[in-house]
Homo-oligomer: A and B are copies of this chain.
Amino acid sequence: MFSEKMHALGTSPSVIRDLFEYGNKRKAEIGADKVFDFSIGNPSVEPPEIVKETIEKLLNESDGVSLHGYTSGPGDMSVRMAVSDYIEKTHGAKASPNHIYMTCGAAASLTVTLGALCEDGDEFITFAPYFPEYRVFVESAGAVFKAAKSDKNDLQPDLASLEDLIMPHTKGIILNSPNNPSGVVVSEENIIKLCELLKKKSAEIGHPIVLISDEPYRELVYGDVKVPYLMNYYDDTIVCYSYSKSLSLPGERIGYIAVSDKMTGADDVFFAICGSGRSMGYVCAPSLFQRVIKECQGMTSDISVYEKNRTILLNALTSYGYRCLSPDGAFYLFVEALEKDAKAFSEKAKEYELLLVPSDSFGVEGFVRISYCVSTEQIENSLPAFEALAKAYK
């Protein structure tokens, strides 16, 4: 009657969703302000005012038939030009408008790209910890999913582990920096080494290994941290981007795929992307929000709130004895669990009304993810609970 595989995907338990639902139940029992829910990675900051202003302007100045009408499959050409210009101006990299494909958000950017690249027997590799949907997307494209390790101390990519996994069937690598769930930004030094390795291995296996840069958190970095633009380091790069986090628009499903002009057979790869989107019924990215993001290139929500939350949490947790790893970007802290079993630690944290996601579903053991895209008030109120939890392990 139905696909067992899709049924399994539709019913598979999600640790994050379960925690979130537990939190809602618990809030109803003891009051919302008594439960410290750090489970969900939803932007908590309003979109910048220009989003609303642009929507109002478009509604008043455009005719509805054009504004809400179909764009071409890869997107409105003026929008693709704006994205291409922004990439060149900001990063000095060239992805011409003919290599920009507007998508329904980051997940679509990935599924469409993977579908475009994947042939029978292909393998894609990422680094653990990783966003759990990577496995779903890679396997749904018909490929094999593999995870290389990260360094235990700073969660930077472990390149020796990657080298061991690269085989003739390796089609590509997915790099996610700033990283969900760890918040880690891969250093330029490691990017250079990674790209050297990919070039060497591409030559060895006789075909280019594609570097997919999944970077919805690009703008969410703190201090003077830089996120290197991968097209400048490696020709066979495809950038998968979304405005969900930078503009606080996750529900609107708007993002893009950018194929480097320098990519081997860039035009053909782009045609395959168009075909892949078509096969999944992605007719075009939402037309109103294509026009909105055209006017918002390089802008972000007020991410100083995330920075403030991060500083308070990082300082407090460190002073209580927690070990937090290189939290340079995104809105996640990856914290070592205070016992070996992260799930048991997450259960223990619940006794203190702290909802922390154990790291097992991210492909590593022994950590919890704390999403600090919450109110600063929640951060401040939760600190005694974190302190008490730490004391319970002493």
Contact = CB atoms under 8 A, between A and B. Distances in A.
Interface of A: 1-12, 42-47, 51-52, 55-56, 59, 63-65, 67-71, 104-105, 107-112, 115-119, 133, 136-137, 140, 207-208, 210, 248-253, 264-265, 268-276, 278-290
Contact of A208 (B1, B4, B117, B281): B1
A281 B111 contact: yes
Given A9-B276, A9-B278, 6 more contacts: A2-B116, A10-B270, A46-B65, A51-B68, A107-B282, A107-B283
Nearest to A49: B64
A333 to B, nearest CB: 21
Given A43-B69, A69-B42, A280-B111, A7 B268 contact: yes
Interface of A is mostly: helix
26 contacts: A1-B265, A2-B116, A3-B117, A3-B272, A3-B276, A6-B115, A6-B272, A6-B273, A7-B268, A11-B271, A11-B274, A42-B70, A45-B65, A51-B64, A64-B248, A65-B248, A71-B251, A104-B282, A107-B281, A111-B280, A112-B281, A133-B278, A140-B280, A251-B288, A252-B286, A280-B280
A8 B64 contact: no
A40 to B, nearest CB: 9
A352 to B, nearest CB: 27
- How many copies the complex holds: the figure is 2
A187 B219 CA distance: 56
Contact of A110 (B140, B248, B253, B281): B281
A115 B45 contact: no
A92 B353 CA distance: 46
A46 B64 contact: yes
Contact of A56 (B59, B110, B111): B59
B115 A3 contact: yes
A117 B69 contact: no
Contact of A69 (B7, B118, B250, B275): B250
Contacts of A251: 67-71, 284, 286-288, 290
Given A63-B46, A281-B107, A286-B253, A7 B271 contact: yes
Contacts of A69: 42-43, 248, 250-251
Contacts of A5: 275
Given A11-B271, A275-B9, A281-B112, A118 B3 contact: yes
B281 A108 contact: yes
Contacts of A265: 1-2
Contacts of A249: 68
A249 B284 CA distance: 12
Contacts of A287: 251-252
Contact of A55 (B59, B70, B140): B59
A118 B140 CA distance: 14
